[in-house]
Structure 1
Amino acid sequence: MPAPCRSDLSTVRLCSSPRLHSPRDLCQSFARNRHTTWPAYGCQPANLLRARHLSYSAAQPRTWASATTTVAGPTSSSTQELDLVSAPTAVVVGGGPAGQAMALLLAQRGWLVHVYEKGNRFEGGNHAGGVGYGWNVTLSSRAFATLERVNALHLVKQRGVRLLGRVVVQENGQDRYLPRMPDNVSIAVPELANALAQVAMEQFPDRIRHHYGHRCTAVDFATNSAMFVDSTSSADDMQAAASVVVRKSPPADLLVGADGVNSVVRVSMQTKTPLFGFSQEFEQGLGFKAARVTVRDSALAPDRTQVVLRRNADEPLLLADAIYTFTRPYNGSLAACALLPNPDRSYNLIVGGDHAPGLTTAQACRELLEKAFPKLAAMLGDDAHKRMAGAPRGSNRTITCSRFHHERAVLIGDAAHAMLNSLGQGANAALEDCLLLDEALQAHSSVPAALAALTAERKPETDTAAALSKQGIPPRGLGSLLYFLKYRMLLWLSGLLPGVVPQPWQVVIQATCEPYSQVVARRKRENVVVGFILAVLAGAAVAGSAVMSAGGCWGSPWVSTMPAQAQRQWDEVF
């Protein structure tokens, strides 16, 4: 048993323990470590820290009983109760996927964690029975490493859908298919957060305490605590201060801001701490609305595990477990839609473009879908338009901060570094943040030092990821054809010549935990390889033309000896 470490109000020294594998190692080998028990970091803080926790418990008894989740667990012994009192305390603002995952990682280390969320558990309205936000995220290797560490991967895969790839639907029926890695999972954001909360309640009923219905209004960095009001408080209530009860979290050794793109923790850092820079950039025409909708049985493929591609415009589109995207000109601009699968045979419908903000009535939704996407409109259930009209409006933006921390408070996920959804990396990067923060806390002797190290390591990578997300938007017109041609060509050649021709960078970013900066370097090498291939093809064409003019026969021996499977793949590419 390591000796207790000294701590005071400004720092909690973390007891030494064997250094863990890096998150990148975990990403490559998480399947082999499912039953690994991880050493606990953290130590018994000084009496002053213990007194702070006791004084909070005595002076501020819990209210809002209906908004605070209490889980009955086994009767604790006096030793267990003392352990909870002496444990370092963390406050997590935001009960989304990143906040829940961070709470689990801290609880594994022996921390007492308070998670505050403005919504209610199982809320979100994106289930088949309700109207509301229907945003799905695509999880890949970066997220899987974190989910495996917190023993939630199996449950998340049960509640999500294994994606087959992406289908770009064309008006002429010549749909384009981009296969993805087979383990990618599509899951609704509330489902993911609730799955992690369920794991927390089952594994750490005493160490993780959920407070739902708490909306954060400010952060007090002097005590490292956050202020909250009841989420049902209206703007008028906020103006009449006497009618609003403000609650304060316990003073924390670590405060985590996981409260999304409109982070109150980040705003508090901007206004209350020196030299904190922040910028955000909205992408024109990339606003969206999203809702969970039902589709008609006739629109579903007999086997949803197989993508069925059409060959002409008259054939019906049959939906499988893939992402389907549609783009059409409409009223002088571009309208875009996407369908993402759910386990219950419903789909999440996302409508983007300049027309999305105006979809406030069922009639407006019906008119847009029937005129711009008639085949899609025919597949949707009768209540789809009403659900879309009632869904909140979202925006696509990138967010960058000059740093992610201040003293013992830190930002993770979209609160620190939002990116566009073109590559499906927002949730993956957020969950990867949790592992990196966990690693930093284990590697450094104090919380401020760990948070400073996290900013130094993580910020360059997330800035690069935001830039990559802009480059991941497929171009339009002829550029779209060239984009997909290059993708399929590299996919085929990398399978034919592994180690010689690189995989497309879009595959690497999904299939590995390779740092985003290395993905950029890979993308540059990829362009060199493509340029070389095009030069070889151009030279072969010139030589072939010369042979044909001399009476030769161009290429038949090579074509005739090409393996049948490779020939089919070659035909799909070209």
Structure 2
Amino acid sequence: MTVPRRRRGWQCVAALSISGALLLPSFVVPQGSHGHSPRLLRRASDRSDESSTLGLSVLIAGAGPAGLLLADRLLSAGCSVHIVEARQDPRSGSLEGRAYALGLGLRAQQTIRTVDDKLWETIKPSGFASERFKLHLSPKIAIDLRTPEDNNGLEPSLLIYQSDLCSAMLDHLETNFGGSGRLRISFQSRLKFLNAATGAASVQKGEQLEELPSADLVAGCDGVNSAVRSSIAAACPAFEVAQTKLPGSFKVLRFPQMPSELDPTAVHLFTGKGGTSAFIEPTARGACALINWRDGVNVQELPSLGELQDPEEARETLSSYFPAIAEAITDDAGKQFVSQKASQASTVKCNTYHFGRAVLLGDAAHSTGGVSGQGCSSAMKDSVVLAELLQREVGGAKRDTLEVLSMYSRQQVPEGHALLDLSLGPSEKAGPLRKALYNAASLAGTLLSKLGIGDPPLQTLLTTSLTPFSDIRRDRDFFFGEFPQQEEFDSMIERASTPS
């Protein structure tokens, strides 16, 4: 179930997932109720009708899961790809921006398998398959929201550090294309300048500035604070982006093993004092804990988590907030906590995902702040949609690249807008009555689904089906208000993408 973050108690399960880091373990997929577009989710062995040689030059900003998946698909199609990444190579041991764990559910698994099954098999050993989810209401009371018996044959979600996921994808890329002469990866390099209309760009690494030849396509897979998106905004007056910071801050702790008092196979959610929470996931290399809090909340005799600077004080304070996992909060955990800069999640909503030769994917185009846990899955779906449109339309000599980018926006903008609505719940415009009915219906649906009654709850559909987000959203028009029709999106995208 997905509800606004201000809701408290057990309803915060979905809302506490930050920046795509947390994806609830798999739920049952009702047979025959979840449609998807087969032509946009085909495995490599099923793409015999598509051209194998695109020959495009592509600049990809961002070496996260979306950028790496897009690179793999386009290199397979014959493109030349240059990936520019501001962070270090994750295989060097750097955790910069990649310290948290992701959950790869059905949607993510399907997109990865469009490359080949070997990529998925390369990734799996670095993750931890989990089918258990426990909500701890108090030190002595816990509710099983998910058990293996609920799986009904589905492959479980894979909990994996983003650093490990990206490392496996980079290894796959270099093994398959490192000797092709068509792959270049520049780490610790920032996109300094981009002409979105022509594809001309420059990249800065340290003090060195490199002018790049104009690319046929520039893909912005560079996150919430996207440089590609900023370039589009500077070039296109009709382009609009709404970026909103969500309340609360978070930091990530890595434990060498799960706390001994916890089920080592389960994901655990603890609600702490003063509106704090700890979301703990098992991984292949111990456990990942996401610590959330809100600044300004007064907890008698306890300092705010956002003000901690001393490792020992951090250890003692975290143990006081979360006594159930105090044993795992060691001196090292205290050092980890104070050494990090607190993060704050943001939502992003754009009126188009392309302009000129530039295109936006993932959080650069549509961030939910991690509220629904769909950040990684939806970003990789963007990569698959774009790659398959390019291969079918450009490779098949049906349309040029600019036309295909418009097609991509028309298909994915509704998906991004729908996911944001579903993640945050009905807006203030829906009115208090509809919001109350939505929360009541969500609660009832979740409880009844545990008894095998009624339709699956929203979180189940988001995490374990291939149903388009826009279809799921339209089914909830009563609570949210009417979702725009495709013609309305097409008109908005045409206006937003046209130079003045």
Check whether TM > 0.5.
yes
Q: How many angstroms does 1:371 deviate by?
A: 1.5
Q: Distance in 2 between matches of 1:471 and 1:364?
A: 37
Q: Distance in 2 between matches of 1:502 and 1:526?
A: 16
The answer for the alignment partner of 1:25 in structure 2 is: 38
Structure 1 residues 123, 407: CA separation in 2 closer, same or farther (over 3 Å shift)? Answer: same
The answer for the alignment partner of 1:270 in structure 2 is: 233
Q: Does residue 1:337 correspond to 2:278, yes or no?
A: yes
Q: How many angstroms does 1:126 deviate by?
A: 7.1
Equivalent residue in structure 1 for 2:112, among 147, 157, 160: 147
Provide the secondary structure at the position in 2 that maps to 1:115. Answer: strand
After superposition, the C-alpha distances for 1:146-203 in whole angstroms (9 at most, x for unaligned) are 2111121112222111121321112152211222755211111121112111111111
Equivalent residue in structure 2 for 1:352, among 285, 292, 305: 292
Provide the secondary structure at the position in 2 that maps to 1:383. Answer: helix
The answer for the alignment partner of 1:560 in structure 2 is: none
Provide the secondary structure at the position in 1 that maps to 2:165. Answer: helix
Q: Does residue 1:487 correspond to 2:446, yes or no?
A: yes
Structure 1 residues 150, 43: CA separation in 2 closer, same or farther (over 3 Å shift)? Answer: closer
After superposition, the C-alpha distances for 1:411-465 in whole angstroms (9 at most, x for unaligned) are 1010111113232100000000011112322235111111111111111111110
CA contact (8 A) 1:323 1:339 kept: yes
Once the two structures are superposed, the pairs formed by residues 459-498 of structure 1 within 5 Å of their partners are 459-471=413-425, 486-494=445-453
Q: Does residue 1:294 correspond to 2:256, yes or no?
A: yes
CA contact (8 A) 2:243 2:349 kept: yes
Q: Does residue 1:104 correspond to 2:72, yes or no?
A: yes
Q: Distance in 2 between matches of 1:197 and 1:323?
A: 27
Equivalent residue in structure 2 for 1:184, among 157, 160, 184: 157
Q: Distance in 1 between matches of 2:130 and 2:108?
A: 15
Q: Distance in 1 between matches of 2:439 and 2:358?
A: 44
The answer for the alignment partner of 2:60 in structure 1 is: 92
Q: Distance in 2 between matches of 1:374 and 1:485?
A: 31
Structure 1 residues 38, 389: CA separation in 2 closer, same or farther (over 3 Å shift)? Answer: farther
CA contact (8 A) 1:162 1:183 kept: yes
CA contact (8 A) 1:125 1:133 kept: no
Q: Distance in 2 between matches of 1:445 and 1:91?
A: 20
Q: Distance in 1 between matches of 2:97 and 2:401?
A: 39
The answer for the alignment partner of 1:397 in structure 2 is: 346
Q: How many angstroms does 1:351 deviate by?
A: 0.9
Q: Distance in 1 between matches of 2:425 and 2:73?
A: 33
Q: How many angstroms does 1:525 deviate by?
A: 9.0
Length-normalised TM-score, structure 1: 0.66
After superposition, the C-alpha distances for 1:198-233 in whole angstroms (9 at most, x for unaligned) are 111111122322111211222123540322111xx4
The answer for the alignment partner of 2:100 in structure 1 is: 135
CA contact (8 A) 2:273 2:321 kept: yes
Structure 1 residues 227, 359: CA separation in 2 closer, same or farther (over 3 Å shift)? Answer: farther
The percentage of counterpart residues that share the same residue type is 24
Provide the secondary structure at the position in 2 that maps to 1:417. Answer: coil
The answer for the alignment partner of 2:321 in structure 1 is: 372
Q: Does residue 1:418 correspond to 2:367, yes or no?
A: yes
Q: Distance in 2 between matches of 1:293 and 1:416?
A: 33
Q: How many angstroms does 1:318 deviate by?
A: 2.0
RMSD: 3.0
Q: Distance in 2 between matches of 1:511 and 1:381?
A: 36
Q: How many angstroms does 1:386 deviate by?
A: 0.8
What runs of 5+ residues in structure 1 fail to find an aligned partner? Answer: 1-21, 45-86, 234-243, 301-316, 473-478, 495-500, 528-574
CA contact (8 A) 1:134 1:349 kept: no
Q: Distance in 1 between matches of 2:365 and 2:310?
A: 34
What is the number of residues matched between the two proteins? 412
The answer for the alignment partner of 2:301 in structure 1 is: none
After superposition, the C-alpha distances for 1:511-536 in whole angstroms (9 at most, x for unaligned) are 11101122234557999xxxxxxxxx
The answer for the alignment partner of 1:236 in structure 2 is: none
Q: Distance in 1 between matches of 2:191 and 2:305?
A: 29
Letter in 1 for 2:239: F
Letter in 1 for 2:450: L
Equivalent residue in structure 2 for 1:216, among 171, 188, 191: 191
Q: How many angstroms does 1:404 deviate by?
A: 0.6
CA contact (8 A) 1:42 1:111 kept: no
After superposition, the C-alpha distances for 1:492-526 in whole angstroms (9 at most, x for unaligned) are 224xxxxxx21122112111110112223455799
Length-normalised TM-score, structure 2: 0.75
Letter in 1 for 2:266: A
After superposition, the C-alpha distances for 1:80-113 in whole angstroms (9 at most, x for unaligned) are xxxxxxx321110111110000001111111111
Q: Distance in 1 between matches of 2:94 and 2:319?
A: 23
Q: How many angstroms does 1:39 deviate by?
A: 5.5
CA contact (8 A) 2:98 2:161 kept: no
Q: How many angstroms does 1:381 deviate by?
A: 4.0
Q: Distance in 2 between matches of 1:225 and 1:383?
A: 46
Query: Whose RCO is larger (CA < 8 A, sep 6+)?
Result: 2
Equivalent residue in structure 1 for 2:243, among 280, 293, 296: 280
Q: How many angstroms does 1:122 deviate by?
A: 2.2
What runs of 5+ residues in structure 2 fail to find an aligned partner? Answer: 1-34, 295-303, 427-437, 481-500
Q: Distance in 1 between matches of 2:98 and 2:339?
A: 9
After superposition, the C-alpha distances for 1:323-354 in whole angstroms (9 at most, x for unaligned) are 21111233xxx11111122102x111111121
Once the two structures are superposed, the pairs formed by residues 101-250 of structure 1 within 5 Å of their partners are 101-122=69-90, 134-151=99-116, 152-179=119-146, 182-205=155-178, 206=180, 207-230=182-205, 233=206, 244-250=207-213
Q: Distance in 2 between matches of 1:422 and 1:277?
A: 22
